[in-house]
Amino acid sequence: MRILITNLSLSRNSGSEAVVELLADGLRGAGHQTMLLAPTLGDMADECVGAGIMSSIGLPRSSKGPMSFTPSI
């Protein structure tokens, strides 16, 4: 299943960002494809992509280009 996870930020390792990372890691371990959509990205977003936890990271609104991920749910 392709699952879109949203959060206000993925810039540092704190509360909701840590939960999002654990959730995505668990879902990927169960065979799902995950994507995070957040308006504020940073070091933690880079770490998630590098570790393979997130298949892709959503672009902030100021970035160009469409989102190339259609979630199942």
Q: Do the beta carbons of residue 4 and residue 20 sit within 8 Å?
A: no
CA angle, residues 26, 39, 67, in degrees to nearest 5: 75
Q: What is the DSSP string of 4-51?
A: EEE-SEESSSSHHHHHHHHHHHHHHHTT-EEEEE-SEE-HHHHHHHHT
pLDDT tens for the chain, 73 residues long, are: 888 888 888 888 889 998 988 998 899 899 998 888 888 888 888 888 887 776 556 654 444 455 566 777 6
Domain ranges of the chain: 2-57
Supply the pLDDT for residue 64: 46
Q: Is the pTM of this model over 0.75?
A: no
